[in-house]
Amino acid sequence: MGLLHGTRRALLGGRRAYTQKVLSYNPLVYFPQWENAGVVSDELINGWNGAYTGVTLGQPGIGDGNTSPFFDGLLDFNNIWTAALRAAFNGNEGTVAIWGRVNAVGVWTDAAWRYLLAMQVDVNNRLYLAKSIVNNTLQWQYRAAGVIETVALAGLTTTDWFYMALTWSGPLLLNEVRAYYNGVQTGLTQVGLGAWAGLLHANRNAIGAFDIVPTSVSHGWAAHGAVWARPLAPAEIADLYVI
Amino acid sequence: MAKVHCYFGVENLALNDSQRDTLSAGLRQLGPASHPQPACLCHWRKRLDGDACIFEALFDEDVLTVAVFKQRLATLFGIDPGDVGHSTSQESFAEGKTPVVTFSYGGTDYLRMALFGGTATTWMQSGDEARGYLKAYQEEWEAEL
């Protein structure tokens, strides 16, 4: 497990820190993105580390005492795919969440898709958290067997940090998708999911971009990306929004 | 050696696949061998058709001059740098200026190179020009529209 990079305030001292909170919910993988140097993105659960390309590390974080990387909207990404994650990931039930922040208010109207987090098998089985090509809009999407569940939140102009989360539970379980913005569910609960099929693609699972070409690169900062193997409850998402 | 952190792009005009791959491999050697910041290590992004690429790194300033670029092309392809011709123009993709150089050989244009933001640029200015270029040619570079 790579614990030698970045600031370790989160794991030292008596006061409960944000990273400890995330860990307390037992994620499948967790990338705090707190490094100040190097190309390794620490993954705190199993050491299934990500690999940075092009990011600028050591930038201001969410306010938890740790830093975050800056993505340039051009060439940057954190490749979070590993064979181990591919084997462990459950596309039919889970949660993804991440903090994001745009570089400037103009990013909201730059007419480009910018992905904070994308996890994909193929065009019919994927999920993502993204700034939409539509002005001032964030979009959450879960797609399984070609059945698409989308939630969009419009009217956004913030240049502060925001928290996106997506929970899903497939057709044989709760059969619903929920999107969360800043700890509160946004949009309607989506129902009638398809059944996820296939394994995560080696080139299409990233923080800060749609894929590792890369395309649709984020322009701003991202931190504390995590994946769970269960849909977190609304109260848990609300708690994770509190720093 | 002065350094510049910037973006440049190259576009294949008439190279065959082997020549294009040779050029790409050569350009990927630019930039520092190591650096604590991923942004300063040479990295790139290909256009969806594979015939253009944008590079970013903390470059030695001189590798981005026309003369040195010609020498690099000559070395890569085993030709006399004196036989590599060039023409220049200027574009603006955001609010900056981006010099564009077209390299030729034997009367044929083979390669176009754009130095986003020019030589006297900040990293952010160079990035703004590159982002402006990407926006202008979004359909050729982005998978999701």
pLDDT band with cut points at 50, 70 and 90 for residue B145 = low
Reported as a single tens digit per residue, the pLDDT across A139-187 is 999 999 999 999 999 999 999 999 999 999 999 999 999 999 999 999 9
Q: What CA–CA distance (Å, rounded) separates A2 from A117?
A: 21
- Whole-angstrom CA distances from A178 to A115, A133, A135, A175, B47 are 18, 21, 22, 10, 35
As a whole number of Å, the CA-based R_g of chain B is: 15
Show the tokens assigned to A45.
């659960």
The minimum CA-CA distance between B106 and chain A, rounded to whole Å, is 34
Residue A15 vs residue B47, higher pLDDT? B47
Residue B65, chain A, CB below 8 Å: the answer is: no
Distance CA A8, CA B97 (A): 43
Can you give the pLDDT at residue B38? 98
pLDDT digits (tens, 9 = 90+) for A100-118: 999 999 999 999 999 999 9
Given this model, what pLDDT does residue B119 score? Answer: 81
Band the pLDDT of B43: cuts 50, 70, 90. Answer: very high
Rounded to a whole number of angstroms, the distance from the CA of A182 to the nearest CA of chain B is: 26
Q: Where are the alpha helices (DSSP H) in A89-191?
A: none
Q: Comparing A84-93, A233-242, B47-56, B63-72, which segment has the lowest mean pLDDT?
A: B63-72
Whether the predicted pLDDT of B37 surpasses 60: yes
- Closest partner residue to B45 (CB to CB) among A38, A57, A74 is A74
The confidence band for B143, taking pLDDT boundaries of 50, 70 and 90, is: confident
Q: Do A74 and B127 touch (CB under 8 A)?
A: yes
Helices B66-77 + B17-27 axis angle, to 10: 130
Q: Which residue of A has its CA nearest to B57?
A: A54
Distance CA A64, CA A192 (A): 38
Residue A6 has pLDDT above 60, yes or no: no
Longest CA–CA span in chain A (Å) reads 48
First to last CA, chain B: 42
Angstroms from B39 CA to nearest CA on chain A? 4
Please tell me the predicted confidence (pLDDT) of residue A2: 41
pLDDT of A5 over the 60 cut: no
**Gap between the Cα atoms of B30 and B136, Å rounded:** 27
Compute how many other C-beta atoms are within 10 angstroms of the C-beta atom of residue A189: 14
- For B49, list phi and psi in degrees, rounded to 5: -85, -5
- From A53, A110, A133, residue closest to B43, measured CB to CB: A53
Find the chain A residues whose C-beta atoms sit closer than 8 A to any C-beta of B.
36-39, 52-57, 72-76, 110-113, 133, 210-211, 213-216, 219
pLDDT at A11 over 80: no
A215 contacts B142? CB cut-off 8 A: yes
**Per-residue pLDDT for B132 more than 80?**
yes
Q: Does B95 touch chain A if contact means CB atoms closer than 8 Å?
A: no
Query: What confidence tier does A7 reach under pLDDT thresholds 50, 70, 90?
Result: very low
Task: Tell me the ipTM for this assembly.
Answer: 0.95
CA B82 to chain A, closest CA, distance in angstroms equals 34
Q: How many CB atoms lie within 10 A of CB B82?
A: 8
The amino acid present at B50, given as its one-letter code, is: G
Closest Cα partner for B54 from B83, B136, B82? B136
For testing the chain B interface, which of A40, A72, A132 should be mutated: the one with the most B CBs within 10 Å?
Answer: A72
Per-residue pLDDT band at A13 (split at 50, 70, 90): very low
Q: DSSP letter for A132, please.
A: -
CB contact under 8 Å between A110 and B135, yes or no, is: yes
Q: Which of A196, A83, A95 is nearest to A143 (CA)?
A: A196
Tell me the average pLDDT across B65-94: 94
Structure tokens at B135: 């926006």
Q: What is the pLDDT of residues A27-81, one digit of tens each?
A: 999 999 999 999 999 999 999 999 999 999 999 999 999 999 999 999 999 999 9
* Interface test with chain B among A139, A213, A221, by most B beta carbons within 10 Å: A213
Contacts of B84 (CB under 8 A, 6+ apart): B70, B73, B74, B103, B104, B105
What are A78's strand-pairing partners?
A: A52, A207
Average pLDDT, rounded, for chain B: 94
HSE-CB of A202 using CA atoms within 13 angstroms: 1
Q: What is the pLDDT of residues A116-136, one digit of tens each?
A: 999 999 999 999 999 999 999
- State the residue for tokens 């208010």: A105
The DSSP secondary-structure symbol of A181 reads E
**B141 vs A contacts (CB less than 8 Å):** 215
User: Is A39 in contact with B134 (Cβ distance < 8 A)?
Assistant: no
The SS3 call for residue A205 is strand
pLDDT given at position A4: 39
Q: Residue B124 CB: number of other CB atoms within 10 A?
A: 12
pLDDT at A1 over 80: no
